[in-house]
């Protein structure tokens, strides 16, 4: 183990005070604040409107998901992971199922893999749409929220048709899928792709070149690629800082290596770049979906897995690229039906650490913008 | 008794405003009318804003209370009146109590000089525009007191932002207004600060001031149009009440009736600044093309507009009545909407009566222009993100203020040249 003290500490500079030499104002933002996306509490130290530093207080949504895992069988725990990042439940399910499959040394059949990729990418779009709506709302543009929710509805309809649930889907099973794709699934997905493409242009029309949007996002919440890596920040935030790191390409899981897509990166690592990266990611997801839906092979949807799962003694770490960043599952098995320990590496939790660094010296209004751009879900932060 | 009747009648023959004629009775009637009209306008704005915003945002807006949510503002008003009236324990109760009244007072008092027509104003002051600007900026006092008295962080920050914002935009606003006053001085009657005088100057000079000295008038209008949005704390300048940052800004701690006073004040302030803009640049009560399309025929055509507008609204109502679901549950709503349509149609028909038509046409054109501004306000809100505080200040001080100064100097120069030219022509070509 590395001694945590020997790790180089991030140099968090205290911003210059204003000439007024005023007293610091300590403001408690949240947990009931409308812009903290749930129950995040931020203690802000302000000099006028300038943020001198901040501290996140989390745990208001802690449900002990990891502890619950120790008292459930592998199959029983599967629905719980949906409740962590509840806006990207399908991705969470994919990560967990693949981790357990790795532990059991089975692989889902190709047909299941394709359907998994389609649903996961649909979920990525849904998650980004929700992020865009709320992020724009935080910055004061109220209209994009309704546009994105209107279009996200179409994705939720596909989920509902596929597995009966809209949000906490529990779409996948360890070893494959429980349900065969319903009749007309491919047509629905294709229709959705055609439907949503012009809609993404519509969002961009409202925001991308909007003067106020540019002023509010350019140069706000800057973070360098180096700092991102030091803090373990992943996902669109890392890519917007210029680091080309996407687990779908770097360590291909599922069958992502079969698909052609690009990883968008930014240059400045500011809020605007993160916005652009996510907008491009939505289009790339559509590209993947288009390829996947063309190539769904025939065959079984479930690999041979025992009814009572007893993975061999050992441990496994498996991570996927969730919409918000690297979502990892570390599972320790003692050979019984229940995991000895499950540790989740949630992207929101790790990304949230960067908030202090990104907000120092900025204004109060920027804190809201940065919380929005980090795209955190408190269910995943607290677990 | 006879003397009193004569007193009442005496005003009807004069061509002045009640205040100008010194007739207390009619002044009181006008005050009551303006107050009632303003309240109705605020209620209508409430409904319209929700509906228009909703349609911009691909949703329906209020649909449940009354047909197409027509009774929603009334339901809201009743709800607000029934709510518990909370004064926080730590608040300064007296100041907390007074603050909303200052805001409402400032927002309503400005309507004393707003000219809805050449005689349709409560009074005509020779310093009308100064009075309007002065009184409307008093509302910042109410906002600061509200934020201070709440004794809480968010309202305090909201109040500070608001005062800084209002003060800095008032400067640019003032410069734009001064450029208009310079323009009025070019007419035969000389410069004036009176609201009625400004409109009459536009009539005398034969063009709305927005087109005067193109593009100077237009630039002045734009400066004012931007500053007035900031002045009323509306999107994209709604920082003082930025709900995503400061929950509700200066009125976070207010609830029930007191909160509704702030709401009322905000909307009447919007109407007030819009009417300044209309009076100064868009010819106030003057109908479009008062000089180009003259003659009794055109007068008749333009005086038909109010009636036609209401009839169109009635037709819209009837069309939507026909589209109502044919379910028994909707019978009352359908009848209500049809009834509303009938009321609108009746108003429209009354407006065709020549005696009414002549008196109402000024007010109609004024209201129509103000209504256009109200729509703009809603449109802004549906489209723009919110400025950040420092950016807002930058726009105010570094863009609008210098532009306003240059505009003022240019207007003065161009105006001087015009006058000189006129004089020279007089000398050399007698």
Task: Please tell me which of the candidates A33, A138, A216 has its beta carbon nearest to residue B388.
Answer: A216
Average pLDDT over residues B34-59: 89
Contact B197, B284 (CB under 8 A): no
**Spatial CB neighbours of B399, under 8 Å, sequence gap ≥ 6:** none
pLDDT tens profile B152-168: 877 887 788 888 888 88
Other CB atoms within a 10 A radius of the CB of residue A23 amount to 8
More confident residue, B153 or B282: B282
Looking at residue B315, its pLDDT comes to 94
Below-50 pLDDT ranges, chain A: 1-9
Cα end-to-end span (Å), chain A: 25
Put simply, the answer to whether A140 touches B235 (Cβ < 8 Å) is yes
Task: Please tell me which of the candidates B57, B244, B387 has its beta carbon nearest to residue A34.
Answer: B244
The pTM of the full predicted model, rounded to 2 decimals, is 0.83
Chain B residues in contact with A363 (beta carbon < 8 A): 388-390
Closest CA in chain A for residue B242: A140
Burial readout A83-115 (b: 16 or more C-beta within 10 A, e: otherwise): bbbbbbbbbbbbbbbbbbbbbbebebbbbbbbb
Please give the backbone phi and psi of residue A25, each rounded to the nearest 5 degrees, phi first: -105, 125
β-pairing, A314-322 vs A325-333, is antiparallel
Cα separation values, B362 from A249, A322, B118, B126, B305, Å: 70, 63, 8, 21, 11
Task: Please tell me which of the candidates B382, B383, B390 has its beta carbon nearest to residue A363.
Answer: B390
Chain A residues in contact with B390 (beta carbon < 8 A): 49, 363
The answer, yes or no, to whether residue B372 has pLDDT greater than 60, is yes
Question: Minimal Cα–Cα distance from A348 to chain B, Å?
Answer: 20
Looking at residue B246, its pLDDT comes to 63
Place of tokens 């005696």: B355
Contact A88, A322 (CB under 8 A): yes
Within 193-222 of A, beta carbons closer than 8 Å to B belong to: 206-207, 210, 212-213, 215-216
Percent of chain B with pLDDT over 90: 11
Other CB atoms within a 10 A radius of the CB of residue B115 amount to 27
**Spatial CB neighbours of B262, under 8 Å, sequence gap ≥ 6:** B100, B103, B146, B251, B254
Contact A45, A52 (CB under 8 A): yes
Rounded (10°) angle between helices B128-136 and B153-184? 170
**Residue A41 belongs to what H/E stretch?**
strand A41-47
Query: pLDDT band at B406, cuts 50/70/90?
Result: very high
Task: Please tell me which of the candidates B59, B381, B385 has its beta carbon nearest to residue A210.
Answer: B385
B374: exposed, middle or buried (Cβ count in 10 Å: 0-12, 13-18, 19+): buried
Put simply, the answer to whether B386 touches A140 (Cβ < 8 Å) is yes
Put simply, the answer to whether A212 touches B389 (Cβ < 8 Å) is no
The answer, yes or no, to whether residue B289 has pLDDT greater than 90, is no
Contact A266, A274 (CB under 8 A): yes
Looking at residue A329, its pLDDT comes to 92
d(CA B99, CA B38): 21
ipTM of the complex: 0.78
């Amino acid at each position: 183990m590395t001694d945590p003290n020997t790790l180089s500490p991030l140099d968090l500079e205290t911003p210059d005070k204003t000439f007024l030499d005023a007293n610091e104002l300590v403001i408690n933002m949240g947990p009931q604040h409308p812009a903290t996306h749930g129950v995040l509490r931020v203690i802000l130290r302000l000099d006028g409107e300038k943020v001198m530093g901040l501290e996140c207080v989390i745990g208001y949504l802690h449900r002990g998901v990891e502890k619950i895992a120790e008292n459930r069988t592998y199959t029983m725990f599967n629905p719980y992971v949906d409740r962590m990042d509840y806006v990207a439940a399908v991705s969470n399910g994919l990560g967990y199922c693949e981790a357990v499959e790795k532990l059991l040394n089975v692989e889902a059949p190709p047909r299941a893999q394709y359907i998994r990729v389609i649903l996961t990418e649909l979920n990525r779009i849904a998650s980004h749409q929700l992020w865009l709506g709320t992020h724009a709302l935080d910055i004061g543009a109220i209209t994009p929220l309704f546009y994105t929710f209107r279009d996200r509805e179409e994705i939720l309809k596909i989920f509902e048709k596929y597995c009966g649930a809209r949000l906490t889907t529990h779409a996948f099973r360890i070893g494959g899928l429980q349900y065969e794709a319903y009749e007309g699934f491919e047509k629905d997905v294709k229709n959705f792709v055609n439907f949503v493409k012009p809609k993404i242009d519509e969002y961009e029309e409202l925001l991308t070149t909007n003067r106020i949007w540019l002023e509010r996002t350019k140069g706000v919440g800057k973070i360098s690629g180096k700092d991102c890596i030091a803090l373990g920040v992943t996902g669109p935030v890392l890519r917007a800082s210029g680091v080309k790191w996407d687990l779908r390409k770097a360590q291909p899981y599922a069958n992502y290596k079969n698909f052609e897509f690009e990883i968008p990166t930014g240059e400045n690592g500011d809020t605007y770049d993160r916005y652009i990266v996510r907008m491009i990611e939505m289009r790339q997801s559509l590209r993947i979906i288009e390829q996947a839906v063309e190539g769904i092979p025939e065959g079984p949807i479930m690999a041979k897995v025992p009814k009572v799962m007893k993975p061999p003694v050992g441990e496994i770490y498996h991570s996927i690229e969730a919409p918000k960043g690297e979502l990892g599952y570390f599972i320790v098995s003692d050979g019984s039906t229940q995991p000895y320990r499950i540790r989740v590496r949630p992207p929101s939790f790790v990304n949230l650490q960067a908030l202090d660094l990104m907000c120092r010296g900025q204004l109060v209004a920027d804190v809201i913008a940065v919380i929005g751009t980090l795209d955190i879900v408190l269910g995943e932060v607290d677990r | 008794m006879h003397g009193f009747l004569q007193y009442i009648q005496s005003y009807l023959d004069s061509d002045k405003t009640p205040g100008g004629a010194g007739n207390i009775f009619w002044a009181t009637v006008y005050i009551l009318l303006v107050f009632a009209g303003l309240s109705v306008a605020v209620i209508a704005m409430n409904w319209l804003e929700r509906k228009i915003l909703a349609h911009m945002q691909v949703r329906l807006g209020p649909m449940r209370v009354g047909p197409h949510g027509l009774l929603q503002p009334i339901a809201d008003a009743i709800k607000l009146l029934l709510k518990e009236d909370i004064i926080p324990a730590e608040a300064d109760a007296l100041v907390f109590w007074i603050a909303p009244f200052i805001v409402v007072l400032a927002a309503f008092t400005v309507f004393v000089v707003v000219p809805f027509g050449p005689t349709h104003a409560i009074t005509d002051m020779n310093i009308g525009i100064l009075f309007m600007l002065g009184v409307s900026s008093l509302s910042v006092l109410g906002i600061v007191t509200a934020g201070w008295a709440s004794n809480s962080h968010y309202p305090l920050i909201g109040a500070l932002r608001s005062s800084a914002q209002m003060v800095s935009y008032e400067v640019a606003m003032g410069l734009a207004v001064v450029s208009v006053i310079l323009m009025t001085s070019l007419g035969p009657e000389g410069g004036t600060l009176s609201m009625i005088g400004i409109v009459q100057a536009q009539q005398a000079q034969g063009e709305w001031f927005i087109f005067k000295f193109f593009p100077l008038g237009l630039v002045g209008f734009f400066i004012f149009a931007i500053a007035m949005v900031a002045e009323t704390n509306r999107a994209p300048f709604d920082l003082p009440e930025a709900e995503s940052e400061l929950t509700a800004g200066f009125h976070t701690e207010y609830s029930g009736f007191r909160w509704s006073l702030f709401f009322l004040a905000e909307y009447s302030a919007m109407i007030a600044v819009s009417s300044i803009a209309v009076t100064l640049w868009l010819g106030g009560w003057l109908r479009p093309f008062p000089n180009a399309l003259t003659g009794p025929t055109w007068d008749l055509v333009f005086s038909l507009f109010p009636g036609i507008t209401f009839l169109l609204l009635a037709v819209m109502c009837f069309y939507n009545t026909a589209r109502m679901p044919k379910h028994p549950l909707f019978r009352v709503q359908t009848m209500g909407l049809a009834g509303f349509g009938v009321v609108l149609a009746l108003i429209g028909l009354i407006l065709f009566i020549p005696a009414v038509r002549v008196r109402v046409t000024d007010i109609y054109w004024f209201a129509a222009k103000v209504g256009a501004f109200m729509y703009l306000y809603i449109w802004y809100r549906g489209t723009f993100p919110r400025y950040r505080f420092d950016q807002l200040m930058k726009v105010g001080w570094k863009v609008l203020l210098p532009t306003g100064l240059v505009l003022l100097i240019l207007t003065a120069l161009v105006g001087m040249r015009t006058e000189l030219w006129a004089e020279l022509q007089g000398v050399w070509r007698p």
